[in-house]
Structure 1
């Protein structure tokens, strides 16, 4: 899927660059806008890594790199919750209204029963080295499920192409917490009752970049070069998906 999307996106982007036509000109796709949401808040910072760093800080770092990577591909960006002060999950889709796509950036944990204790710099922390890897989530109640799935699959495919490993632990769903696959190969799951996915008017994806509780993966997730590579892969998947969509709408 990604190779076809990537080829079409490259052609659409090249056409815009070569002709110099304004966005939305006849025969040319308009520039897509992506709302990039930083998951969690300063007051509710999410999961705590194996070494004690809160998820919100990981989310904000990666989201900032994603903004830069999207802009490098000619995609307009609407930042959401970069200051960590949008407490209501219902407000995030409202801020994103009018964009073409919504992505919420997160970092993952594991089921509480899998956690173990260890000492790090004189403090007791929890960890689990059983699971690692990225995951993507969409809602079957999305107002545009087809685009949500297509873009999530494009992101997952590009990540795999760049050497990132899909997580598998969400496939072992517990009663009441089912996360069935929407696209197993690319680690896309259904998560129907996530507010930021089903209350938006846009196609929407929640991205879990990796498992913070895995001690080795936490170190990898802190690495600036790896962060930039992941942001580049996610941006490529989004841009490919959206430029194809825009090009089709312009025909």
Structure 2
């Protein structure tokens, strides 16, 4: 009886071991952070729209694009109520990658005024284009930069043009793909995983603002970002 029991237990353990080993690895988990909050909605576009609104639209499309590629996603600050920048990456400690979605503005001294639909707004048509930031204080700088470069390469392959605006103050980590160092960005250096801040474009630029509001273009940009992230994460598996 004891021999039969031992044989049965061993058979169960072997079966369980085989099942666990055969279990497919879970797809990578990407945390998509919506930049800014309801109380501090960021820059105001050339036609009076908040940056938060732009960020929400692109972040939502990015999560769908990542899911179509088979990656798992979690949307951080989807309601615009997470005030603490430190809390954003800390809320997703199990994520394999953290990307914070933003839209860019310009310095006050570069702004001009114009009238749009009966209201006065500020604008600057000097700069347009996307850019990215990584932090040397992030524990996964190498992978952060690799993902930034992969995203940048895909963006340019799909016809999106980067900006050189941020080179005035931020050192390039990868000039070709518009990735800059920004060591003290809180959401990046508090992340325990590779992390990147993505600036989709300059909402103070009157023509680019209209492009950034276009849902079809947002979807194309999201596809480019998602493809770059997927390529980067698969390279490390």
Give yes or no for TM over 0.5: yes
1:126-205 counterparts in 2 under 5 A?
Answer: 126-173=122-169, 179-205=170-196
Runs of at least 5 residues in structure 2 that lack an aligned partner in the other structure: 1-21
- The answer for the alignment partner of 2:16 in structure 1 is none
The structure with higher relative contact order (CA 8 Å, sep 6+) is 1
> Which of residues 205, 209, 215 is equivalent to 1:214?
205
Displacement after TM superposition at 1:22 (Å): 4.1
Q: CA deviation at 1:23?
A: 2.9
Extract unaligned runs of 5+ from structure 1: 1-20, 25-29, 174-178, 247-251
CA distance in 1, matches of 2:149, 2:107: 25
**CA distance in 2: counterparts of 1:209 and 1:22, whole angstroms:** 38
SS in 2 for 1:74: coil
Q: Separation in 1 of the partners of 2:37 and 2:103?
A: 13
**Counterpart-to-counterpart distance in 1, 2:135 and 2:24:** 30
CA deviations over 1:215-247 (Å, ceiling 9, x no partner): 00000001111000000000000000001112x
Q: Normalising to structure 2: TM-score of the pair?
A: 0.90
Distance 1:136 1:234 in 2: 11
Correspondence 1:102-141 to 2 at 5 A: 102-141=98-137
Deviations 1:79-132 (A, max 9, x none): 100110101101101112111000000000012111111111111111000000
Distance 1:22 1:64, change over 3 A: farther
| Aligned length in residues | 216
Rg (Cα) greater in structure: 2
3-state SS of 1:96 partner: coil
For residues 160 and 31 of structure 2, the distance between their equivalents in structure 1, rounded to whole angstroms, comes to 23
